[in-house]
Structure 1
Amino acid sequence: MEFEIIKKGDQIVVKVLSKKLDTNNAPELKSELIVLGNDGAKNIILDVSNCSYVDSSGLSAILVANRLCEDAIGTFILCGLQPDVENLIRISMLHTVLLITKDVEEAEKLLIEKSNL
């Protein structure tokens, strides 16, 4: 497994441990995200701070997580973008669709604030 899953109350933090999120590991991540969604997860934080490279398969896994959270009326947050990954997100205009924070702590604060509304 090239990622770590940490359940914290009503949120799940998925940390990608490899340097790349690509065709070699994105399908496994996508499958795990679908399992989490089927188990009722609605707030997912995806930490890609270890990733310096993401390809279209990785973007697809990110979008699957976003859709699962939207369908569950929850929140998906992407965090820890390295410069090359952030450039790809911006080029593909996904920064207009995704909620992005600099780190997990900021994402957790955002979820707490949202739950207090």
Structure 2
Amino acid sequence: MDVQSDFTKDILIVTVPDNRIDAAVALQFKEAMRQATNNNAERIVLDLRNVDFVDSSGLGAIVGAMKQLPSNKSLDLSGLTPTVAKVFQLTRMDTIFSIYPDVETAMNGGDP
């Protein structure tokens, strides 16, 4: 799995172009995130607007991507589809991540 990354306003925006983060791609996703976040950005926004489905392995990979970051970096989420948002709510992961409706709101520091 490839992810797309772009610096904007000293924030690294990482976009998942695929529509699923599941067991089939979880390890590749985690490795792609490790490579994409290996830079000086202290804040990373993971843009999930294209993702329709996240299973437990995918959720674990997103959490793993957060945990592999140094303590001076943060990982926020944006653009969760209703199905993906429900997974985060049911697992209470919405209390762990700052979640924004879209990248623009995340970049402007809007209320999660």
Shorter chain as normaliser: what TM range?
0.7 to 0.9
Gaps of 5+ in 2: none
Structure-1-length-normalised TM-score: 0.80
Contact 1:47 1:78 in 2 (8 A): yes
Q: What is the CA–CA distance in structure 1 between the aligned matches of 2:81 and 2:31, rounded to whole Å?
A: 24
Counterpart-to-counterpart distance in 2, 1:31 and 1:41: 17
Asked whether the 8 Å contact 2:4–2:17 carries over to 1, the reply is yes
The equivalent residue for 1:81 is 80
Q: SS state of the match for residue 44, structure 1?
A: strand
Q: 1:85 to 1:51 in 2, by over 3 A?
A: same
Flag as ranges the 4+ runs of structure 1 deviating above 3 A. Answer: 36-41
Q: Does 1:6 align with 2:6?
A: yes
Q: CA deviation at 1:85?
A: 0.7
- Once superposed, what is the RMSD of the aligned Cα atoms? 2.0
Query: Once the 2 structures are TM-superposed, how far is the Cα of residue 75 of structure 1 from its aligned partner?
Result: 2.4
SS in 2 for 1:28: helix
Q: How many Å apart are 1:9 and its aligned residue?
A: 4.8
Deviation at 1:44, TM superposition (A): 0.9
- The change in CA–CA distance for 1:64 and 1:40 in structure 2 (over 3 A counts) is farther
> Secondary structure of the residue that 1:88 maps to in structure 2?
helix
Q: Which residue is 2:104 aligned to?
A: 105
Aligned residues: 110
Partner of 1:115: none
In structure 1, distance between residues paired with 2:76 and 2:86: 17
What secondary structure, in the 3-state scheme, does the structure 2 residue paired with 1:110 have? coil
> Secondary structure of 2:45's partner?
strand
Please report how far the alpha carbon of residue 62 of structure 1 lies from its aligned counterpart in structure 2 after TM superposition.
1.5
Letter in 2 for 1:35: Q
Percentage of matched positions with identical amino acids: 30
Maintained 8 Å contact 1:44/1:65:
no
More helix by percentage: 1
Normalising to structure 2: TM-score of the pair? 0.83
Q: Is the 8 A contact 2:15 2:46 kept in 1?
A: yes
Structure 1: gaps of 5 or more residues: 112-117
